[in-house]
């Protein structure tokens, strides 16, 4: 891998950690609390929509419910997701903890995610990774696409040669729309065709970036 990168911009879910089980509990809590008749939501249900804006995830998962109910679930699951993740956390992928520490000693690190407002802060608080990252942006803060958020983050931080790291086509599309090279992590939730770089594990990614 070329040594020309000055910064790394990470997707969050499916790239650094997995909170699908925790979020499925949060979504079920909201449904039960509001007396909404719907099947139990599983981690697989959450995983199937992860990477999309939160409202889209809810609409696709709770398809068929009245619009008023969908809106209620969208609003309440934002708070409940953050509460449950703050309490129970998620699965940090292998080598991410030590890898981010080592990478932060050389590169400026950032996050761009399609998550709801407050979720990135919850991730940083629960994981203790906050000091590793200089800035982040998400759909919940701006209501904008991942491409727009990636472009804005790169611009406001004066990034000249960033590398985007993610696990899904949406990450790759945003990177290419912004003219940023893309590294695909194969262990995540999605699949990508012809990424600039591909890694089977986070450890492999770190080793390439450090050597």
pLDDT for position 80: 97
Same domain, 148 and 97: yes
Percentage of the chain exceeding pLDDT 70: 99
Cα(138)–Cα(114) distance, rounded to whole angstroms?
5
Give the end of a domain, one of 88, 116, 139.
88
Same domain, 13 and 33: no
Sign of CA dihedral 140, 113, 57, 35: negative
Same domain, 197 and 133: yes
Spell out the alpha helix ranges (H) of 34-168: 43-49, 54-61, 67-88, 96-104, 119-127, 139-142, 146-156
Same domain, 144 and 163: yes
Using the predicted structure, report yes or no on whether residue 16 has a pLDDT greater than 80.
yes
Give the model confidence (pLDDT) of 85-114 as tens digits. 999 999 999 999 999 999 999 999 999 999
pLDDT for position 51: 87
pLDDT for position 2: 54
The answer to whether the CB of 38 falls within 8 A of the CB of 58 is no
Using the predicted structure, report yes or no on whether residue 65 has a pLDDT greater than 70.
yes
**126 Cβ partners below 8 Å, 6+ apart?**
85, 86, 89, 90
Give the end of a domain, one of 88, 103, 120.
88
Give the end of a domain, one of 72, 88, 104.
88
Look up the CATH number of the domain holding residue 52.
Answer: 1.10.150
Mean local confidence (pLDDT), 65-70: 97
In a domain, 1, yes or no: no
CA 19 to chain centre: 10
Look up the CATH number of the domain holding residue 102.
Answer: 3.40.50.1000
pLDDT for position 1: 62
Cα(195)–Cα(204) distance, rounded to whole angstroms?
16
Cα(206)–Cα(211) distance, rounded to whole angstroms?
8
Same domain, 149 and 162: yes
CA 92 to chain centre: 12
Mean local confidence (pLDDT), 170-186: 97
Same domain, 79 and 101: no
Question: In the numeric block, which tokens belong to residue 211?
Answer: 């050597």
Least confident of 21-25, 48-52, 91-95, 184-188: 48-52
In a domain, 202, yes or no: yes
How many domains, the chain? 2
Using the predicted structure, report yes or no on whether residue 134 has a pLDDT greater than 60.
yes
Same domain, 14 and 24: no
Q: Show the domain range for 147.
A: 7-18+92-210
Give the model confidence (pLDDT) of 135-147 as tens digits. 999 999 999 999 9
């Amino acid at each position: 891998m070329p040594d020309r990168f000055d910064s790394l911009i990470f997707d969050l879910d499916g790239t650094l950690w997995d909170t699908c089980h925790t979020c499925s509990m949060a979504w079920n809590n909201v449904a039960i609390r509001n007396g909404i008749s719907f099947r139990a939501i599983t981690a697989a249900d959450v995983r199937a929509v992860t990477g999309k804006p939160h409202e889209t995830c809810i609409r696709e998962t709770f398809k068929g419910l009245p619009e008023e109910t969908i809106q209620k679930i969208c609003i309440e699951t934002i708070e409940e997701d953050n509460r449950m993740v703050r309490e129970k956390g998620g699965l940090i992928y292998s080598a991410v903890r030590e890898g981010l520490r080592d990478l932060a000693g050389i590169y400026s690190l950032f996050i761009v995610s399609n998550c709801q407002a407050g979720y990135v802060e919850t991730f940083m608080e629960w994981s203790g990774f906050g000091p590793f990252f200089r800035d982040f942006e998400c759909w919940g803060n701006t209501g904008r696409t991942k491409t727009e958020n990636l472009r804005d983050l790169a611009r406001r931080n004066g990034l000249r040669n960033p590398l985007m790291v993610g696990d899904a086509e949406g990450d790759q599309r945003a990177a290419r729309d912004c003219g940023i090279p893309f590294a695909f992590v194969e262990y995540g939730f999605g699949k990508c065709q012809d990424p600039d770089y591909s890694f089977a594990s986070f450890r492999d990614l770190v080793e390439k970036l450090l050597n």
